[in-house]
Amino acid sequence: MNQLLNFQLLKWLLVSLAAVLATHTPNLPVWVIIASIGFGTWRFLMDKYRWPFPKIWLLLPITLLICVGIVFTFKGFFGRDASLSLLMVMCSLKLLETKNIRDYMLVIVMAYFLVGNLFLFSQTITTFGLSIPPLLLLTATLIHISYKNADKPKPIIFYLKLAGQLLLQAVPVMLILFVLFPRIPGPLWGLPQDANSGMSGLGDSLQFGNISNLTKNSAIAFRVQFKGAAPEQSQLYWRGPVLWHQEDRSWTMSSNKIGLQTESLKVFGKRIQYTMTLEPHNRLWMLMLDMPTLIPHDANLTHDYSMIAEKPIRTRLRYDATSFSSYQLGVNLGERERLLNLQINEGENPRTVQLAKSWQGLSAPDKINTALQRFRQLPFVYTLKPPILGNNPVDDFLFNTKRGFCEHYATSFVYLMRAAGVPARIITGYQGGEYNPNGSYYIVRQSDAHAWAEVWLANKGWLRIDPTAAVSPERIENGINDSLDETDELPLMARADYPWLKKAYLNWDSVNNSWNQWILGYDDKKQLDFLKKLSGKNMSLQEMLMWMIGIIALILGLTAYFLIRKQKAKLNPAQRLYAQYLKLLKRAGLTPRNGETTSDFATRASKNLPNQKTQILDIAQRYNVITYSQSPNPELLQDLAQCIKQLNIPKQS
């Protein structure tokens, strides 16, 4: 077993490891990639120039150095990123002492594991595609290792072809396992902190710049499918966290510890039913259309009507919901709520406070109108690139710069209202969405993130006021791409130019949507639903396993049958014609005897069938010429076909 393995095999191993490394490049720090390539190259040169294997006193410090590097880079050994880097660099370091079959097998099994780890980072169709070449190469290398007759090397294609065959034959059982293997809802234990890093979405507080930053992200926040007609674009306000408290420059949610009463809600008009597919964002909120009435089982509604999940949303979440676009919210405002919604920090933004005081004589609706009027009439600009604001940011924005994004308008409007004695709060969420005709659903991106305001009026309750609409009505009517001049700042997909690109993108997104719904979203619940649809009843765990084992046994049995069936020899054209001729003669009860030559058989057959004698002898003669001459005339083949056509042997009844 301890045989040394040859150079060709080493090259195979290095190429397959390089493929694994290549697919992982976005997930690894640069030094890990460089080190891995370095160790691979070292091993290659070692074989090429017959360098000795490095001694333990060299390998040990390298190993220690790597461990230090990992701890330094990731602040620890544990977690997804650190483990991957450690595994990758150790796998390539192991190359430096791979001599025999044992080491090779170890490295290959580790590399298979690394391919599986790819999906911790991304589960897109592209990643799925990227996982195939390394699997193919690793399997081919494994075949090469198993092919121990090094003195009779096979061509590269032999290993690749066999590996491809094996993997293709593995697909049916893989599909059955995928569908029927009982899905256990994870996680089995706490996930490392970094398992869900890189997810983006709304924060739980609002500062200047938060939302305009998010707007540069074209990632999808969620997709919505409406049952029945979808509401107007300008009504698509997706309610997220409701912000009550001003602390310096940031606005935060009210604590649920203070025990505010759930606001009363009356709804009118038509119900809007829809299904949301929320991308994971590692926070609690689940977005709903203003105003939700029916919420999913495992969600809670806060007193101010934002929906909260029980634990951070780390997997794609699908839920059904119902909302009404005409509603009356919180007609009776308690004293505590009233005070909370009037809170502003004392001594800040004096000009704004002064402006609000000057409206003292006006009624609340007039105060609102005056404020909005101000946004409309003064040269306010809706922009993604607002200037930096000074110590009194609201003052600075309202009286100096006048350039801002939705969060500037929402916060300064709410600030003005509170200063003028009108209870007001900020709502963050998303506004609008892009309709995808392929699959008829809406795509809402991070770039659709938005902030608006709610003000409380006696007898009317909380009213939604969107100050951004006053400055840039296009934002609300048509979406973000129509409302900004500096579209370069926006992600490509949120822009209006390149319509064909956009169309291609929408097609691709509908493929992605199905992928998400059916492949990635295939969890325990979906599995039960799917099997129920398939079998017409609820399937128990035992039944699932029984079906799984039964079908797999059937597939393996069939595969085994096809694998050991005697394979037909491939015939050349002349042999095919000759087989045709033999079939015809068989009708007359004539078959060649063991060892009988073509001409002998023809002589015997022509004796039995005297009226076909010339054809039979011609066929035998031509067949012999084609088979045995060095370069037969190609016309001879047609000639042979012609002769066989002329052969007239009646079917025996």
Partner 1 sequence: MLDKVWPLRFWKLGYWQQWFRVVNSANNVAILNPRQIYIIPTRWGLLYAIMLIGLLIGSINYSLSLGYYVTFLLASLGNIAMLHTWRNLVHLQVAVLNSKPVFASESVAINLKISESKNRPRYVIGAYFNQQSEVIHDINANDALTVEIPLATQKRGWQSLPRLTVYTEFPLSLLHAWVVIENPFQFLVYPKPSDSSNPNNLSADAITQGSSMVTKGDDDFNGHKNYQVGDSPSRIDWKASSRGIGMYTKLYSGAEVHTLWLDWADTSGSTESRISQLTRLVMDAHATQQIYGLRLPNNEIAANNSEEHYHQVLTDLALFK
For partner 1, the closer CB: 117 or 603: 117
First to last CA, the chain: 65
- Contact between 113 and partner 1 (CB under 8 A)? yes
Contact range with partner 1 by CB under 8 A, out of 131-139, 454-462, 590-598, 632-640: 131-139
Least distance (Å) from partner 1 to the CB of residue 149?
6
Q: How far is the CB of 607 from partner 1 (least distance, A)?
A: 33
Q: How far apart are CA 473 and CA 487, in angstroms?
A: 17
In sequence order, what are the residues at sequence separation of 6 or more whose Cβ sits closer than 8 angstroms to the Cβ of residue 566? Answer: none
Catalytic member of 281, 290, 406, 643: 406
Cβ burial 119-137 (10 Å sphere, 16+ → b, else e) = eebeeeeeeeebbeebbbb
> Do 386 and 408 form a contact (C-beta atoms < 8 A)?
yes
- Which residue lies nearer to partner 1 by CB, 142 or 278? 142
Q: 142 or 649, CB closer to partner 1?
A: 142
Choice between 378 and 553, CB closer to partner 1: 553
Residue from 171, 229, 258, 388 in contact with partner 1 (CB under 8 A): 171
Distance CA 13, CA 108 (A): 8
Is 106 one of the binding residues for partner 1 (CB under 8 A)?
yes
Cβ nearer to partner 1, comparing 152 with 593: 152
Size of the site for partner 1 (CB under 8 A): 64
Query: What's the min distance (Å) between Cβ of 559 and partner 1?
Result: 6
Task: Concatenate the DSSP letters of all residues of 19-85 into one string.
Answer: HHHHHHGGGS-HHHHHHHHHHHHHHHHHHHTTPPPPPHHHHHHHHHHHHHHHHHHHSSS-SHHHHHH
Residue 430: which of 286, 295, 297 has the closest Cα?
286
> Between 194 and 474, whose beta carbon lies closer to partner 1?
194
- The smaller minimum CB distance to partner 1, of residues 59 and 195, is found at 195
In this chain, which of 50, 55, 152, 537 binds partner 1, going by CB under 8 A?
A: 152
Q: Which of residues 421-480 bind partner 1 (CB under 8 A)?
A: none
Cβ 139 vs Cβ 21: under 8 Å: no
Q: How far is the CB of 166 from partner 1 (least distance, A)?
A: 5
What is the chain's length?
653
Instruction: Indicate if 406 belongs to the active site.
Output: yes
Assigned token pair, 608: 């039995």
Q: How far apart are CA 415 and CA 504, in angstroms?
A: 44
Among residues 31, 44, 226, 522, the one that binds partner 1 under rule CB under 8 A: 522
DSSP character string of 278-301: EPP-SSSEE-EESSEEE--TTEEE
Catalytic residue among 304, 450, 509, 618: 450
112 touching partner 1, by CB under 8 A: yes
Contacts of 501 (CB under 8 A, 6+ apart): 492
Helix (H) or strand (E) segment spanning residue 134? helix 132-146
- Say whether residue 530 binds partner 1 (CB under 8 A): no
- Tell me which of 68, 120, 156, 534 binds partner 1, using CB under 8 A: 120
Residue 384 C-beta: closest distance to partner 1, Å: 35
Site for partner 1 in 547-576 (CB under 8 A): 552, 556, 559-560, 563-564, 566-569
Among 149, 360, 391, 542, binds partner 1 (CB under 8 A): 149
With CA atoms as reference, report the closest residue to 382 among 412, 410, 397, 402. 402
Distances (CA, A) of 280 to 117, 129, 198, 316, 479: 19, 22, 10, 5, 23
In the complex with partner 1, the residue whose CB is nearer, 257 or 568, is 568
Residue 120, amino acid:
L
Please, which residue, 220 or 313, has the CB nearer to partner 1? Answer: 313
Q: Which of 48, 148, 336, 357 binds partner 1 (CB under 8 A)?
A: 148
Binding partner 1 (rule: CB under 8 A), the pick from 127, 275, 487, 606 is 127
172 contact partners, CB below 8 Å, separation of at least 6 = 555, 559
- Mind spelling out the 3-state secondary structure of 394-428? HHHHHHHHCEECHHHHHHHHHHHHHHCCCCEEEEE
Q: Which residues from 190-209 bind partner 1, rule CB under 8 A?
A: 191, 195
Catalytic residue among 81, 395, 396, 466: 466
- Please tell me whether the peptide bond between 387 and the residue prior to it is cis, using omega within 30 degrees of 0: no
Which range in 20-28, 100-108, 199-207, 385-393 contacts partner 1 by CB under 8 A? 100-108
Contact flag: residue 545 with partner 1 (CB under 8 A): no
Active site residue 450: yes
Site string for partner 1, 288-317 (x = CB under 8 A): ---------------------------x--
| CB under 8 A, 24+ apart: contacts of 118-121 | 118/23, 118/24, 118/27, 120/80, 120/84, 120/195, 121/26, 121/27, 121/80
Instruction: Write out the residues near partner 1 by the rule CB under 8 A.
Output: 101, 105-106, 109-110, 112-113, 115-120, 123, 127-128, 131, 135, 139, 142-143, 145-149, 152, 162, 166-167, 169-174, 177-178, 181, 183-189, 191, 195, 315, 519-523, 552, 556, 559-560, 563-564, 566-569
Catalytic residues: 406, 450, 466
